[in-house]
Amino acid sequence: MAKESRKLIANNKKAYHDYFIEDTYEAGISLAGTEVKSLRTGKCSIKESFIRVEQGEVFIYGMHISPYEKGNIFNKDPLRVRKLLLHRYEINKITGKIAEKGYTLVPLQVYFKGSLTKVEIGLAKGKKLYDKRQDIAKKDMRREAEKEFKIRNL
């Protein structure tokens, strides 16, 4: 079987800055036709979105999909709550982890896998301010090292 193409639509860089991502899941997403057309043009934002588990179902809140220009009356609300499609055992596993203190679910990226729209969600634990400072310091050190390496090899 050929490797399916994976076309990235939206990425949540802020999630990697604010959280330690401990586990990732791939979820389908329940969408209307005009929303899929809008996603094909790349009009999606997951910066302020979050995920909740309610009565054994997983929902994504605050995911903004811009209305499709040619969609007129069929367009849905851009910020409506959308259902994520996961297997029951995955939902049970996630629910068990979220019950622990400090864990949350964050959307990491939205992409097309073949013709299907998928959302990568991460089981995350919040970072403290000093963790963020350490990450920034590591990034700066790596950047400096690459700069030195580049200068030496000219």
Radius of gyration in angstroms for the set of CA atoms belonging to the chain, rounded to a whole number: 19
Task: State the DSSP code for 96.
Answer: H
Are 74 and 33 in contact by the 8 Å Cβ rule? The answer is yes
Are 82 and 59 in contact by the 8 Å Cβ rule? The answer is yes
Contacts 24+ apart (CB under 8 A), 75-79: 75/34, 76/32, 76/34, 76/35
Exposed, middle or buried: residue 65 (CB in 10 Å: 0-12, 13-18, 19+)?
buried
* Strand 103-113 relative to strand 116-126, pairing: antiparallel
What pLDDT tens digit does each residue of the chain (154 aa) get?
456 677 888 788 888 877 888 888 888 888 877 778 888 887 888 888 888 888 888 888 888 887 777 766 666 777 788 888 889 888 888 888 888 777 888 888 888 888 888 888 888 887 777 777 888 888 888 888 888 877 777 6
Are 61 and 84 in contact by the 8 Å Cβ rule? The answer is no
pTM: 0.71
Task: State the DSSP code for 70.
Answer: G
Q: How confident is the model at residue 73, as a pLDDT? A: 67
What is d(CA 97, CA 105) in angstroms, rounded to the nearest whole number? 10
HSE on the CB side for 124, CA within 13 Å?
Answer: 22
Which residues neighbour 132 within 8 Å (Cβ) at sequence distance 6 or greater? 17, 18
